[in-house]
Chains A and B, each alone.
Chain A
Amino acid sequence: MKRTVLAGLFLMSLTSFGEEIVIYGPESMKWIENSAGVIFKEKTGATIKYVPIDGVIPRMKLEKKNPKADIIVGLTDINYLEAKEDNLIKNYKPTTAGNIAKESFIIDKEWSVTPIDYGMLALNYNYEKTHSDLKTFEDLKKYPKELLIQDPRSFTGEAFMLWTIGVYGENWLKFWESLKPSILTVSSGWSDSFAKFSVGEGAIMSGYASSSIYFYQDGNENKYKSYIPEEGGYIYLEGAALVNKKNIKKSAEEFLNFVLEPEFQKLALEKNYMFPVIKYDLPEDYKYVPTADKIVKLDAEYVNKNMENWKKQLIEVLKK
């Protein structure tokens, strides 16, 4: 009997200690495996396998019958609804939920998604090429064939589209029509645009306000700048969620507890160049990140209802 109990305890310890959790998310969050993974292993004994996926929600739909991932990261305060409505994610309130600094950071009251960090969209530009500072969305039109934007089916492309909808309302497509001469190309995603921008293919790109920290750290703060147009800024929250599957691993839940701890939030600052959702003193570099007095906001349910149609309309304009 004693032996059976011991063997049982040993097996139980094996299931939680030494467990591997699979996380799906965007390419830009690969640091989760190498950096956050080390700390997570020390804390829980579980290892993280991070799989970069282009289009996390479509992949989850493909895997619905037999999900391979335990966690998905990179869901936003907008697109989480699509995953939730499709039963792809499962509610879980982290034990560390109390660490969240503001009520407005809670993406879903039912906790289908846990906020990780937040950021602001911005336009990054090469001052050596524009020779002047940009201030508004309309300023973009002064530079023909210089703007790098992303496919609206990508994460950043979708957010940029929503930003323009927030600013221009019903006239958003007219704005895009008039912006077309300035567009150099529509990249597949942010990484691709940033690569092109870095090698000087375009003078301006739609991206993130916190890229200014990267420019500063690289000693390029005079060459590359970021601005948030006077028309209004756009904030988005990023989150992580449990994948809805039969056997939810204990360490998957522990990971969601972990993302709201200071160690993970620090990494999100350093590696993801994003803002923490818990109380945390920002490093000195963050003073270079532009801020906005006016913020535009869209209702998640309204967006979710219209998203597919908006993307279709924008793609049509971009293809013309």
Chain B
Amino acid sequence: MRKNKTYSYIYLILWVIPLMFFIKDFFHLEEIKSLSFYENFQLFKISLTQGVLSVIFSTIIAIMPAYYMSYRKNMLTKILEGLIFIPFFFPTISTVVAFTLIFNLPILKDFSILYTLKAIILANVFYNSPIMIKYLSEGMRNMPKNIIEAAKIDGLNEISIFFKIKIPLMFPQIFRGMFLVFIYTFASFGIVLALGGIRYSNLEVEIANTLLRDANFSKALMLGIVQFFFLIALNFLGDLYPPYELRDDYREKKVSALITIWTVIYLLLECLVVFIGIFYGFYNYYTGKFSLEGFYKLFSSDFNAYYPVLRGIGNSLLLASITPIFVIIFTYLLLKNFTKVTSAIVFSTMGFSSAFLGIALIYINILYDIKLWILLVIGYFLITVPIAYSFMYQYVREFPKDILDLAKIDALSPFKTFLLIECPILKNVFLGTYLQIFAIILGEFTISYSMQLGRDFPTIALVNYSLFSDKKLLEGTALSSVNIIIVVVLFYLSNKITERE
């Protein structure tokens, strides 16, 4: 089949168009010249510190649970596997809520964790360590036994085997995990905004502040470019370490008590944060009693006159239902027309600032009155294509060629091949991807926040943020609980569906 580069370029153009309008009208070279190198370098350093520390701690904390997950198969392993829902499904606002409540607990308050670097790193580690567990355990699990045995025969001891054989074999996997954690924490927004304060503002928060408060659009653009090229460079670095195609059968191994205890504690702590996020929806922080008052208020018409909770839920559900359809169709076409540039284009956009994209989209609304929901669908489409691409890559690219060849022999058109052959086989993959994108959009905060849509097109995340800003703790935690419950159910369904594959 002839590969068509058009889809890759369409994706690139969709990114460039909104940015072009903005750049054309607001980019002034003289403003860039007046920027202080030191000030911006400091910003970069803060982002880098947060990213690097989060990667280091997420990796260290994940080693033992990953080891446990690689060599044991029981209930604990299943729950550990389930934790991957946190980085991809758990809403940022719910994380912020849970950590604010935790750091304000009487036993922790004296440690003054809130509004420090510690608070950001702890939240980042909670959020991203499951990614490291996934990648580390995959690396450990697929370590071919025969290579290790050969090393032993050659006289290498356990330490030498670990450093000379295991680490180099696992490195590409570890690197991919670290890269993902780094991207998520280097360009983190909600957590830094709410748990860090001005002192720890990273590039992404500074871009939003510069756009929304300073009106220094050239500076924001410059910061966005720095962030973009830095992450692209890192992305290309990843290509230097292609993963080894290793596969080995699962084998159970005895794990030490220390590893088991560490894994249990880790699991409890991760689940505790999720639990607190739900629990405070049912517990009145002020009276110290269980109540459903927050939920009643949340859905009452009086309350909705001031805080558009129902509209927010409706809007988020609408966007989350529509967008994944476009994302899946487009990603499928991208993968069917995969060329050398496809991955480079798709993954390079992961480093682009969502806050900047939000402002560029609202600028299109200002210029051409394009409906906000359409612009939001475009925005969410752009940021979720790389995620769908990762999820669907293996299934679409490695679809059995013999089946497709048979379809060609039967002279089926590409559309009929898709409809009659690929779609029935891949339907669970599509459904699983749909639910994952659905959950991501439900919790999305940065784009809608920078577009300032609280009045015209509120989303769940925006209303939730506004509730916390206005000290409506009871209602805010209730809404956060609703959001968490929805994503947990979605995750469970998505897991069940993809398990069947």
Contacts and interface: CB of A to CB of B under 8 A. Distances in A.
21 contacts: A27-B466, A27-B469, A49-B455, A51-B456, A53-B452, A54-B212, A54-B213, A58-B211, A62-B363, A62-B366, A63-B366, A145-B112, A151-B209, A185-B114, A185-B115, A187-B197, A188-B193, A195-B469, A198-B471, A199-B471, A319-B198
A153 B213 contact: yes
A266 B25 CA distance: 42
Contacts of A30: 306
Interface string B451-482: 01011100000000010111101000000000
B428 interface: no
Given A58-B212, A186-B198, A318-B199, 17 more contacts: A27-B469, A53-B452, A55-B212, A59-B452, A62-B359, A68-B366, A151-B209, A153-B209, A185-B114, A185-B115, A186-B199, A198-B471, A199-B104, A200-B104, A312-B39, A316-B39, A319-B201
A17 to B, nearest CB: 24
A20 interface: no
Nearest to B116: A185
A55 B367 contact: no
B115 to A, nearest CB: 4
Given A52-B454, A52-B455, A199-B471, A62 B199 contact: no
Nearest to B449: A54
B366 A65 contact: yes
Contacts of B366: 62-63, 65-66, 68
A66 B104 CA distance: 45
B367 A65 contact: yes
A153 B455 contact: no
A194 interface: yes
B456 A58 contact: no
B112 A65 contact: no
B149 interface: no
Interface of A: 27, 30, 34, 49-55, 57-59, 61-63, 65-66, 68, 145, 151, 153-154, 184-188, 191-192, 194-195, 198-201, 312, 315-316, 318-319
Contacts of B469: 27, 191-192, 195
Nearest to A51: B455
Contacts of A65: 25, 366-367
B209 A184 contact: no
Contacts of A51: 452, 455-456
Contacts of B468: 195
Given A51-B455, A188-B193, A153 B471 contact: no
Interface string B356-382: 000100110011000000000000000
B215 interface: yes
Given A52-B455, A59-B452, A201 B104 contact: yes
Contact of B470 (A59, A154, A195): A195
B372 to A, nearest CB: 12
